Amino acid sequence: PEYQHAHHDGKTTLWVVFVIMVIASAVFAAMSWRVPVSKRLYHVITTLITTFAAISYFAMATGHGVSYKHIRVRHSHNHVPDTYDDIYRQVFWARYVDWSLTTPLLLLDLSLLAGLSGAHILMAVVADIIMILTGLFAALGSEGTPQKWGWYAIACIAYLVVIWHLAINGRAQAAAKSQKVASFFFAIAGFTIVVWTAYPIVWGIADGSRKMSVDAEIIAYAVLDVLAKPIFGLWLLFTHAKMPETNIDL
């Protein structure tokens, strides 16, 4: 059988991102101590996001949170009995544990910024959790079955619901707050949609059709995770510090 797993570059990348997430968590926590408790909600949410990511990267870097998935590739030839290739590929399920906690928190950051209502926040968060869990079913479900891409399709529909809440409801609410908040929300939510949309694309190439090595998959997600969490967090917290209109009474 053929084994597809992380080599030197992939393992190094996992450790590098672990260190980045720890540093980001420390920086965000330190930033929160500089503002009164009543203004710390974005700081707390954002610090939790990078803390969960650090834990997940620690698991992956030490070889936990991963299992081998058996893939049987069938070759059929005319008049010749079928032959099979057995592939075992690493699936880092720790990512889905991370994403199921951190993507709702990222959405909460954006929802509070826009001033979404409780009902809309809940809808967006539930659609997001459905997206991650059905993505996990797609990743772990048996190969070569129609269900695999069926779960993927359900996850994509849930993702469209998330985008709908950000792009339509979020924008409208932010516009009702103030011009400054509206243009900041437009920029950071637009950044989020671009970065997040790359995840299902990487998934489709790596997990879905296995056209990407495990190392390349780790590196692709590493770049996206650093953009979606530490870079997003720095941008949000620094802008919040100089834009009193983004304050929330919660």
- Residues with Cβ < 8 Å from 159, sequence gap 6 or more? 127, 131, 196, 200
Nearer to ligand RET by C-beta: 156 or 243? 156
Counting contacts by CB under 6 A, is residue 138 touching ligand RET? Answer: yes
Angle between helices 41-61 and 94-114 (to 10 degrees): 170
What is the pattern of x (binds ligand RET, CB under 6 A) and - over residues 208-237? -----------------x--xx--------
Alpha-carbon span 154 to 156, nearest angstrom: 5
Among 46, 103, 169, 246, binds ligand RET (CB under 6 A): 103
Nearer to ligand RET, 141 or 171 (CB): 141
Q: Give the number of residues written for the chain.
A: 250
Strands (E), the chain: 2-4, 67-77, 80-91
Min. distance of Cβ 158 from ligand RET in angstroms? 7
Q: What is the largest CA-CA distance in the chain?
A: 76
Note whether 132 binds ligand RET by CB under 6 A.
Answer: yes
Q: Which residue is nearest to ligand RET (CB)?
A: 135
- Kindly tell me the sign of the dihedral angle through the C-alpha atoms of 184, 188, 191, 193: negative
* 17 contributes a contact to ligand RET by CB under 6 A: no
Judged by CB, which is closer to ligand RET: 18, or 152?
A: 152
Tokens at residue 35, please? 């503002």
Question: Per CB under 6 A, does 188 bind ligand RET?
Answer: no
Closest CB 62 distance from ligand RET, rounded Å: 19
Residues contacting ligand RET: total by CB under 6 A: 18
Contact flag: residue 92 with ligand RET (CB under 6 A) = no
51 binds ligand RET (CB under 6 A): no
At 29, list the tokens: 């926590």
Question: Quick one: 141 or 200, whose CB is closer to ligand RET?
Answer: 200
CA distances from 190 to 41, 60, 65, 196, 197 (A): 22, 30, 31, 10, 11
Shortest gap between Cβ of 199 and ligand RET (angstroms)? 4
Write out the two tokens for 78. 């005319």
Instruction: Check binding of 185 to ligand RET (CB under 6 A).
Output: no
Sequence-distant (≥ 6) Cβ neighbours of residue 73 within 8 angstroms: 84, 85, 86, 87
Taking the alpha carbons at both ends of the chain, their separation in whole angstroms is: 56
Which residue of 16, 48, 112, 156 would you call a contact of ligand RET, by CB under 6 A? 156
| 120 lies in the binding site for ligand RET (CB under 6 A) | no
**Rounded Cα–Cα distance for residues 19 and 58 (Å):** 9
Rounded least distance, CB 137 to ligand RET, Å: 9
Task: Give the binding site for ligand RET (CB under 6 A).
Answer: 99, 102-103, 131-132, 135, 138, 152, 155-156, 159, 196, 199-200, 203, 225, 228-229
